[in-house]
Homo-oligomer: A and B are copies of this chain.
């Protein structure tokens, strides 16, 4: 990752003028400005107001809303409304609705009710985006764009509809010179699954037992490509009319499409950060950990996404939606501790965010998200987060613009590997995101700055230590970069374990030039099983049997090799528990001259180019290196 340039840090908010009486807009805008906000995101769900009937548009209200906001010194992020096609669009294209894996239609009545592959709907989107871009492309207040909203949210990347099937067959016909070569690539001889024509290929659902994993992987690659293509239609149109940067707001822990690939068509990556919702809903931690951080969120999950989207955005990234209070959608929805709406914002800035935009301005008292907090209550009284946002705004004025802090450690994140191990977990607890974040947690526990990097990163020279856990298939660029790398690369488990066709490679994995280490076989472990290691800690979840002549640098208690190493290449034959992982990371950092610090539980650190930040995710104060950081508190000092 190149040295970043210092950025101006700003705050924003999501706003829905169409939800409120026009008479209230000016007052709202004034209050936003007074709070110290810079950006207002609008428009992304308002198609039925922009175009109430086919061909009958109404942009007057939007003109006035943008003018009102602009008149108060606010900059607008204008969203395209394609995540919520109105009823008449669905009437026009009844087959635009996705089908779920069980074949059930995913109908009108909420949002994201479309299949990415439907050509008619794509044309409809191009039309409405064109109208918006043409009208607002040169608007002086429209300073950024957002395409659609949270691609893939609500499990919408994969559709099992007839249009998806047709497009998938076309995609296969482009990828494979012949059905015979597809058969060969997938190994379809296995259960007489061979095809004579691409039109015989179905979608990999509703099979008697599991479908061919190569079939599933190609369907997942196809589905990801469809998201990229869908998004690109919009960015190409917007760019014809506007020079403002374009973003998309990715949703946390959505991995069903390649965010890096979508990101290549965008100027800014942004993500929607709901720390309490995510902790309640989608993080594998112990019940005690969930309870301890119930009102704060997991101490590492936000940072991981920050670092990920910094990579996706090639340095430019935002939080487009920041949780300000309880949300409505998690199994349990507690209230954040006082201070967390400030802490979360500062943590994003510490990781290099340009903008943190709270979702939403005022809690809507109606419809699906009526229980989702805003900066204002439904009665327009300030919710607790408003003062915290204002505090952050004031604090920002006292801080210099700053570049992203330098990291000596890089961690590869690869969407295709997430698909690979969803397709073939081989053990119920093997999940790629969980694996990578477990490594990330280990690094953060040592107080390190971390860069997350793409799986096709071609230059590793900025870093001393690179971790590559669970990368299903090593890309050509990364392999070349590794060959030229002067630091330490730490692979495994399951790294380079699949060919591009999703077969087991022969020679067996990891098959790394320069490292004579072979995974002879693998096993998945049930929750309470462990393989204890020399020196403490254990392998959990996933264990590999290693062979080869490389040095054994860590062994199991029974004497089997667990980490093997030659020069700058090391391979870990298993999923390390936190104790073992910390030891391994400490040893590598020590050898590479990377200073580490044992961070207290719940305390996390991040250095920007100019400051060292500490974030206390605990409710109680923490004493650390001579200072006391209050519960839910933030501390910073110049470097």
Chain A residues packing against B (C-beta within 8 Å):
18-19, 45-49, 52-53, 81, 84-88, 91, 98, 102-113, 153-154, 156, 186-196, 200, 202, 204, 206-215, 280, 287, 290-291, 294, 325-326, 328, 331-335, 363-371, 373, 377-379, 381, 383, 424, 426-429, 501-508, 520-526, 528-529, 543, 545
Contact = CB atoms under 8 A, between A and B. Distances in A.
Contact of A379 (B48, B428, B502, B508): B508
Given A212-B368, A287-B528, A291-B529, A191 B377 contact: no
Contacts of A364: 187, 190
8 contacts: A102-B104, A107-B207, A111-B209, A211-B368, A280-B526, A335-B543, A335-B545, A383-B521
Contacts of A503: 365-366, 370
B192 A81 contact: yes
A170 B413 CA distance: 53
Contacts of A102: 102, 104
A377 B520 contact: yes
Contacts of A429: 332
Given A48-B193, A190-B364, A196-B53, A334 B524 contact: yes
A85 B193 CA distance: 8
Nearest to A185: B366
A186 B367 contact: yes
A469 to B, nearest CB: 18
Contact of A206 (B106, B112, B520): B106
Nearest to A108: B202
Nearest to A154: B209
A332 B287 CA distance: 22
Given A49-B192, A366-B504, A378-B508, 8 more contacts: A46-B192, A52-B194, A106-B207, A109-B211, A111-B191, A332-B427, A335-B523, A378-B504
Copies in the complex: 3
Contacts of A379: 506-508
A286 to B, nearest CB: 12
Contacts of A502: 366
Nearest to A507: B379
B110 A424 contact: no
A61 to B, nearest CB: 11
A367 B190 contact: yes
Contact of A212 (B45, B85, B367): B367
A49 B191 CA distance: 10
A326 B81 CA distance: 50
Contacts of A332: 427-429, 524-526, 529
A521 B325 contact: yes
B331 A427 contact: yes
Contacts of A526: 280, 290-291, 294, 331-332, 334
A378 to B, nearest CB: 5
The 3 lowest CB-CB distance pairs between A and B, nearest first, are A187-B366, A190-B367, A48-B192
Contacts of A209: 110-112, 153-154, 368
A183 to B, nearest CB: 9
A113 B156 CA distance: 28
A287 B526 CA distance: 10
Given A187-B366, A370-B504, A192 B426 contact: no
Nearest to A102: B104
A504 B374 CA distance: 14
A425 to B, nearest CB: 10
B104 A529 contact: no
Contacts of A186: 366-367
A110 B334 contact: no
Contacts of A522: 326, 371
Contacts of A543: 335
A212 B589 CA distance: 52
Contact of A333 (B200, B210, B524): B524
B291 A371 contact: no
Contact of A84 (B112, B192, B280, B508): B192
B113 A207 contact: yes
Contacts of A525: 294, 332, 334
Contacts of A371: 424, 426, 504, 522
Contact of A87 (B86, B196, B370): B196
B111 A366 contact: no
Contact of A191 (B84, B206, B426): B84
A109 B501 contact: no
A209 to B, nearest CB: 4
A426 B108 contact: no
Interface centre among A81, A87, A208 (most CB of B within 10 A): A208
Contacts of A529: 291, 294, 332, 334
A113 B208 contact: yes
Given A113-B207, A378-B508, A523-B335, A200 B87 contact: yes
A409 B333 CA distance: 33
A212 B381 CA distance: 25
A77 to B, nearest CB: 18
A595 to B, nearest CB: 38
A208 B504 contact: no
A277 to B, nearest CB: 12
Contacts of A506: 365, 378-379
Contacts of A291: 526, 528-529
A109 B426 contact: no
Nearest to A188: B367
Nearest to A83: B191
Given A105-B206, A208-B110, A378-B506, A48 B189 contact: yes
